[in-house]
Structure 1
Amino acid sequence: MGRTYSSLWRWLVKSMSTQSGSVAGLGKARVESLTDGIFGAVMTILGLSLTIPYITGQPIQPLPDRDSILVGVLVYALSFVTVAVFWVGHHIAFYYVRRTDRTLIWLNNLLLLFVGLLPLTTALLGHHEIQQLTIAAYGFNLLAVQLSLYGSYWYATVHHHLGPRRPSWN
């Protein structure tokens, strides 16, 4: 059993090792397409955390638990805008990337893993808004997304994956 894990580990490390040039079949466009799809799915799934209260057919009835509904909508809006900002950041970063390699692809997959967790931490925050654990989980999730996005761009910069278009910092 230990030998199987050792072989699997060697294969994984080898598959993640850098090579010169792009990975066959996994060019920049494929990475961007997968990323756009995941970001779009996450932005859609965020809306599923909103709950609609049951209202009877009475002519005059106050909306039940207005504060809870408002908190849910605000948490959804905050998360939607945050995911949109991360998507724009990824789009801008990959504008300058001219080629990918296995490591950059896996770093991007790590980013997508943390982005995919955002609907869960958003739902937790929307349903248990004041609890420290849910706030910490949401904050750590956002931090993990930001660090993995930064790590991907740092890797692309250090390993000369950027094209002739250099970022203008003016």
Structure 2
Amino acid sequence: MIKEAKVEEIRATLEKAQTVILTNYQGLTVEEDTQLRKQFREAGVEYKVFKNTLVKLALKELGIEGLDEHLEGPVSIALGYEDPTAPGRVISAFVKEHKALELKAGLVQGEVYDLEKITEFASIPPKEVLLGKLLGSLQSPISKFAYLVKAIAEKNEA
């Protein structure tokens, strides 16, 4: 009964998350793990360690295939709810300084990503940065056009 409840909890958690990233945390010190958890909290990412067999059962219930092979050994799971790229960005930044953490695979909006795809996905900037770039690129031609119109008006006045 307890096992079924835990599988249901994991299934609901996986179903709710936009992004699920599996990592191998073996070799991290307690201090490094604490630092990683703090960075996840600040980014709005949930970080969990579940029994691999229970995660496999939950994935089977959800009809998700392709992650079972990555659920071997000590596996931690980073879950992104609001910003789908946040877990990957935090992990990628952390891995640069702490080689013990190893990215394994992920699940992004129901699609299984291998190591290469999840690494590429993690390099996408946050939504706010992308919106800022979009607004900047939209604003640039308008600014140039306004400057040109003003220059023409000033020339005609002279």
Q: Do both share a fold (TM > 0.5)?
A: no
Higher Cα radius of gyration: 2
Task: Give the number of the structure whose residues are more often helix, by fraction.
Answer: 1
TM bin (shorter chain): under 0.3
What's the TM-score, normalizing by structure 1? 0.22
Q: Which has the higher strand share?
A: 2
